[in-house]
Amino acid sequence: MRRNERLLTSARTAGRNFRSMGSIRGASRHRQITVDIGLGRGEVVFQSCVQRLMSWEMHRAAGINVLGESAGVRMNAVVILRPRLPLPPVSAPCKVELVWARDTTAGFRYATLEGHPERGRETFVVARRPDGEVTFHIRATSMPSWRMPRLAVWIVDRIQDMVTRNYLHVMREAGMRVGGA
């Protein structure tokens, strides 16, 4: 537990590990992920999926330990994300920099902090269209935090792909469990 507290204290004082999104998008090795899926229809599906997203439950159910904030996503929260993998532990400090919850849309965005293996941002959105369809969106822009051998970059990219697939599966399941598609 002490190690986790030291990591969180360090992350809370760390700055973003990039100056701007332009510094990432302009880099030769930047990567963008854009994914949109349907989750079902109606208010019950929307509320269930929003709750799963905004409580960090999506991350936990997708195989990510979330250290730091247990009560839910909130503005300026600092968390350390740790994929549960059969590898040495990877700590990925992030800071929530945008949170919103409206009648038909809810979500948040976090930015990576110093010590994260990547530099970038990731945005998660649950939306309900006028016809009642509920959708989930992920937008991510990132690049390696430091010069890595090609194999290491490939491994980091595969882990990011796996985690993204897990997020989609968890959210699809949340919609289906309450009567979605």
What domain count does the chain have? 1
Residue 42 has phi, psi (to 5 degrees) of 100, 170
Residue (of 44, 47, 68, 46) closest to 56 by Cα position = 68
Query: Which CATH number belongs to the domain containing residue 36 in this structure?
Result: 3.30.530.20
pLDDT in tens, 4-50: 566 656 656 655 555 654 544 454 567 889 999 999 999 999 999 99
pTM: 0.83
Residue 35 pLDDT: 96
d(CA 49, CA 138): 14
Domain that holds residue 155: 2-177
Tokens 């090609």: give the residue. 150
pLDDT, position 24: 47
Going from the C-alpha of 171 to that of each of 16, 47, 74, 75, the distances in angstroms are 28, 12, 20, 22
pLDDT of residue 16: 55
Vertex 168 angle, CA 167 and 171, to 5°: 85
Q: Give the bridge partners for 80, in sequence order.
A: 67, 93
Torsion sign, CA atoms 35, 38, 43, 44: negative
Please give the pLDDT value at position 178.
79
pLDDT recorded at residue 83: 86
pLDDT in tens, 53-87: 999 999 999 999 999 866 799 999 999 998 887 76
For residue 37, give both structure tokens.
């899926």
